[in-house]
Amino acid sequence: MKNPFSVVLLSVVFLFLSCKKEQAETTVAEKAENTIKHAKGLEIYNYKGYSVVKVKHPWPNAENGFTYILKEKNGIVPDSLQKYTTISVPVQSIIVTSTTHIPSLEMLGVENTLVGFPNTNLISSGKTRSLIDAGKVKNLGQNESINTEVAIDLSPEVIVGFSIDSNNKTFNNLEKAGMKVLYNGDWTEQTPLGKSEWIKFFGALYGKNKEAEAVFNKIEKDYKDAVVLAKKATNRPTALSGGMFRDTWNLPQGDSWAALFLRDASINYLWKDTKGIGSLALSFEKVLEKAQNADYWFGPGQFSTLKELQDTNPHYAQFKAFKNKNVYSFTTKTGAKGGVIYYEQAANRPDLVLKDLIKITNPDLLPDYQLYFFQKLN
């Protein structure tokens, strides 16, 4: 017959050890700090042997986010976190689905782990294009309807996707097939440095947290230095942006990513006081009334010359910026297959976007700098 005292003692010891274990896990959790400074939709917490990555805003107005566990070799993940998708890191093979993911892979030196991408013609970077040309990166079709059979056959360790809402049948089917899909919300960020900081998302996947931190810190410093430089400008020109699509002129609202660049470049964007992070939809007459005498016009659309612009709408010639040939586009510089370099790299390199704008409007502040994204329409 068992000694009742022994049974009670063992129960107390077990309870004590369980409490100590929970207390230890709680203590570890309390000590970890979010390593993200600017991005609002990303949090990364580093623990011994694993990291917790939280994607809070995978798409606009998302009611719930995602939590991912990145487990290092021999790392021990607490039972309380076992319910989340777990990825073994460093990742050895990957599929990404946005051109904005490509620069992060390249800046971390892991582009050779890329095995698939939807519509590879959109990729403009020479490094990754050479991998595509060598047959090492497979074309997966269109992002909205990825060829799931090819994706499954490639058997990547992780698929980094993005979605405009919670209804994404392609990624749901890939998950049902056993693929591990991680949503990336870099495109929902509304500040230049917030978008750029998502390189740390990929740094965590590849066990390159320090490298990602170093890359971002340099971009952050260069961006902030450029803001300080722009404040020294004695010339603070006015500007308009965007162009007509059918009967509507679309231009960025005052709190948007694009408008913040103009503000930080000390440019007087004529719609800077509007509230919102999206686009304004105005009539041509409204834009002409307010911006006819604007000094500069940025991002007029898919045009390579002023003649093309005027042929589309003869009334564009009424703008002072057009008459003075101060119209600048970011769509004229493309990769080998026509992919727009700005769409691929601008979110990752806000420092270069800002320097471009400063160079255009106050060239004396950056005498030796050459435009990277923007080009004047001839």
Q: At what angle do helices 209-230 and 350-361 cross, to 10 degrees?
A: 20
**Residue 201 near residue 184, CB atoms below 8 Å:** yes
Contacts of 356 (CB under 8 A, 6+ apart): 371, 372, 373, 374
Mean pLDDT of 324-345: 94
Residue pLDDT, tens place only, 129-146: 999 999 999 999 876 678
The answer on pLDDT for 13 being more than 60 is: no
Domains with residue ranges and CATH for the chain: 29-188 (3.40.50.1980), 233-376 (3.40.50.1980)
3-state DSSP percent of the chain in helix, strand and coil, to 5:
40, 20, 40
d(CA 72, CA 51): 8
For 225-271, the DSSP string reads HHHHHHTT-S---EEEE-EEETTEEEEE-TTSHHHHHHHHTT-EETT
DSSP 164: S
pLDDT of residue 245: 85
Q: Letter for the amino acid at 63?
A: E
pLDDT of residue 7: 43
Residue 151: other Cβ atoms inside 10 A: 24
Q: At what angle do helices 257-264 and 209-230 cross, to 10 degrees?
A: 50
pTM for the model stands at: 0.89
The answer on pLDDT for 11 being more than 50 is: no
**Residue 41 near residue 55, CB atoms below 8 Å:** yes
The answer on pLDDT for 22 being more than 50 is: no
Mean pLDDT of 158-175: 90
